[in-house]
Amino acid sequence: MEWELGLSAWIIQDGNYGDFARGDRVEAAVEFWFDDRLELAEPSAPSAHHVDGSTYEVVGRVVLVEADVWVIDIGICVFSEHKPPPGLAVGDVVAGRAYVGVDPFFYFERLSKRSSMPPLIYTWQVLAIARQTAPFVSDGPRLLVRDSSKLGWEAVEQTEAWSDDGGRADYVLRCELVPESPRRTREA
């Protein structure tokens, strides 16, 4: 199974991962967040259909709901360390457009220590890396966003988190899921 996982330069700069290169073997949990179109769905098999970058149309079965985190199965189990939607319960099925990306540290540093959390660290083989090429534009006095009219990706052999885009790069890692059971801790 191949997945396109988002990765912001700050995640590497934070020191929890080194720069990534094509061919690397990576251990990481996957976080998600939905855009505004999350809805309850009829029971069906979990699925994730790639849209663009690290965005997917997903159908996920809820496997954990706590006050500050929830986990869904979309073919792999992914987490969101945000307050879940009101009334959401284990077993519900949700659907919508979601971002999926490399866990910055939320799972492996904190959430994995909760006995209620399932093991979420998967092993991945990095097949390709793309870097966002759209320039930043001002979206207010202190906010920069990507110019949505110029979004695009370029293939790179490795991330350069400290220098790409002045240290503000956004990447997508095209990864193959290694057929191993997920774990609570990283081995490396």
Q: Which residue has the higher pLDDT, 188 or 35?
A: 35
The encoded tokens of residue 74 equal: 């979309």
Mean pLDDT of 112-132: 98
Q: Average pLDDT of the chain?
A: 95
Instruction: Indicate the length of the chain as a whole number.
Output: 188
Determine the pLDDT at residue 188: 59
* Contact (Cβ atoms closer than 8 angstroms) between residue 75 and residue 1: yes
Residue with tokens 């966003």: 145
Query: Is 44's pLDDT higher than 70?
Result: yes
Q: How sure is the predictor about 36, in pLDDT bands with cuts at 50, 70 and 90?
A: confident
In tens, the pLDDT along 89-116 reads 999 999 999 999 999 999 999 999 999 9
Entry pTM: 0.94
Report which secondary-structure segment, H or E, holds 11: helix 9-13
Mean pLDDT of 109-132: 97
Amino acid at position 153, single letter:
W
Query: Is 163's pLDDT higher than 80?
Result: yes
* Cβ neighbours, 10 Å, residue 45: 9
Q: C-alpha distances in angstroms, 181 versus 21, 37, 75, 137, 185?
A: 23, 31, 13, 42, 12
Q: How sure is the predictor about 37, in pLDDT bands with cuts at 50, 70 and 90?
A: confident
Mean pLDDT of 142-165: 94
